[in-house]
Amino acid sequence: GQNIDQPTEMTATEGAIVQINCTYQTSGFNGLFWYQQHAGEAPTFLSYNVLDGLEEKGRFSSFLSRSKGYSYLLLKELQMKDSASYLCAVRSGYSTLTFGKGTMLLVSP
């Protein structure tokens, strides 16, 4: 099976930088995804990593270390609208995604 662990909640202030960590254990690793989900809405895709290293996309960056089973999502220049749940999801082989429980991020003024 797969085991995905991420913090339950985090808080940060507007304009700051926050890093959300995700650790996983899986066999046949075939990619790690980060999604953003606002309350009552479906998840929206943020990033994808399959090789080690950092992927940057605007204010969002995602890092992966396959040997450590570790990833993080970095959010810069935080805005109030970034308050949401951030889901780490792992793909094993060509099967579907397994989601972590999500990290609820609260951005305050």
Question: Is-contact 71 48, C-beta < 8 A?
Answer: no
Q: CA 92 → CA 55, 72, 97, distances in Å? A: 20, 18, 7
Dihedral of CA atoms 42, 45, 50, 53 in degrees, nearest 10, equals -130
Site string for another protein, 80-109 (x = CB under 8 A): -------x------x-xxxxxxx-------
User: Binding of another protein at residue 26 (CB under 8 A)?
Assistant: no
Report, in Å, the least distance between residue 45 CB and another protein. 6
User: Binding of another protein at residue 44 (CB under 8 A)?
Assistant: yes
Dihedral of CA atoms 70, 76, 80, 83 in degrees, nearest 10, equals 0
Name the residue among 49, 46, 36 with its Cα closest to residue 83: 36
Nearer residue to another protein within complex by CB, 12 or 32: 32
Report, in Å, the least distance between residue 99 CB and another protein. 5
Nearer residue to another protein within complex by CB, 60 or 99: 99
Residues that bind another protein (CB under 8 A): 31, 33, 35, 40-45, 48, 50, 87, 94, 96-102
